[in-house]
Amino acid sequence: MGSKVILAYSGGLDTSFCIPWLKEKGHEVITVFVDTGGVPAAEREALGARAKALGAVEHIVEDGADAVFEQIVVPLVMGGQLYQDQYPLLVSDRYVIVDRALAIAEKHGTRTVAHGCTGMGNDQVRFDLAVRAKGDYEILAPVREIQDDHPRVREFERAYLEERGHPIPAKQVRYTVNENLLGATLSGSEIDEWEAPGDETHLWCAPAAKWPKERLRIKLRFERGVPVALDGKPMAGAAILRALNERLGAYGVGRGIYTGDTTVGLKGRIVFEAPGITGLLVAHRALEETILTSQQNGMKPLVARKWVELVYKGFFFEPLKDDLEAFIRSSQRFVTGDVTLETEGGVVLAVAVDSPHVLRAKDATYAQVAGWTAREAEGFIRLLGQSAELSAKVNPRSDGA
């Protein structure tokens, strides 16, 4: 007999395959589904029933949405940067899943954990690095193990399950779908071939033909960079994000098609939908850029880009990530106020900002009213450009410069 195994289970094709495969290897499989905010209650119950039918001896459900919001969403929004300027880290809930799976492994007295990541993608890096950073565990990766013998892995998995009487849900046949509090990602089929995604790839973001005709306005309140209220009503962060996903998603906000440089060196193309994150990023930036100094506004993006890169590439438990996050959170000391968002569909704008911390001069408004004299302005300009002016005089540029 093999060891008792804690399997991080999503209900998708890969983790569904893992259950009977591990069982046939002699392992006792305990599945752990960490609900990170993307599954309706009815589907959540169905996942448990399917895990048992596939051979799990026990199925455990953990709520991870609040942890995702605090550990991923908050610093991401505070930082204001995206991976390669496009992607909002939608699969970063993996780190919360690892945390919960390892805690359950400890309770069940085992040091063996498993995941359903393939050997072709980034998730294997995120899972493995996170597990190794948390302690001395044995990691089983059934899908990765079969890859050498079965190059067309997903076709083999489907056949394997169907031969054992486990039909594949229609949702899993054409696309690989990931959904959580942050948003939804889709890959596979025509997406992988750099062709136009089909209409069925609209999961959270309505197509233009279905956008409401009336304009949508939303007011968000932030305290020290953290969203705390929606339209004047105090709410927990995860609840705010869920509401934004629904309301902005109805207007098609937050949909993108992205080709990224993956950790494993391949180009990865996905469709992603993140209406709530998009709204939070727009609102937070509109508030923050009125409050931080020009030096802070210049430095913070550099720090946040590195934070995003580390999280994307699997280094969530790297000490540098914690150091960078400490800087990001420190920069938010005065980022408190209200922002009004508006959309008529597709794009969301921050149309109003109200905060007692806005860096507003009492006697000057840019391009309108000056709090200094014309001579002071002229002197400032001369001093500002003095080095370049001297260089032009002493070392004049030739035509070939």
How do the domains of the chain map onto residue ranges?
Answer: 4-174, 180-354
Q: Residue 362: which pLDDT band, with cuts at 50, 70 and 90?
A: confident
Q: What is the CA radius of gyration of the chain?
A: 25
Beta bridge partners of 179: 184
pLDDT at 114 over 70: yes
Measured CA to CA, the distance from residue 300 to residue 297 in angstroms comes to: 6
Q: Could you check whether 4-174 and 180-354 share the same CATH topology?
A: no
* DSSP class of 118: -
Measured CA to CA, the distance from residue 100 to residue 63 in angstroms comes to: 9
* Position 392, amino acid: A
Q: Residue 364: which pLDDT band, with cuts at 50, 70 and 90?
A: low
**Options 3.30.565.10, 2.60.120.10, 3.90.1260.10, 2.40.10.10; which CATH number does 180-354 get?**
3.90.1260.10
CATH architecture of 4-174: 3-Layer(aba) Sandwich (3.40)
* DSSP class of 199: G
pTM of the predicted structure, to 2 decimals:
0.91
Contact predicate 316/130, CB 8 Å:
yes
- Please report the pLDDT score of residue 397 as a whole number: 83
pLDDT at 401 over 60: no
Measured CA to CA, the distance from residue 311 to residue 319 in angstroms comes to: 12
15-30: pLDDT as tens digits = 999 999 999 999 999 9
In the chain, the percentage of residues whose pLDDT exceeds 90 is 78
Mean pLDDT, the chain, whole residue set? 93
DSSP states of 320-345: HHHHHHHHHHHTTTT--EEEEEEEEE
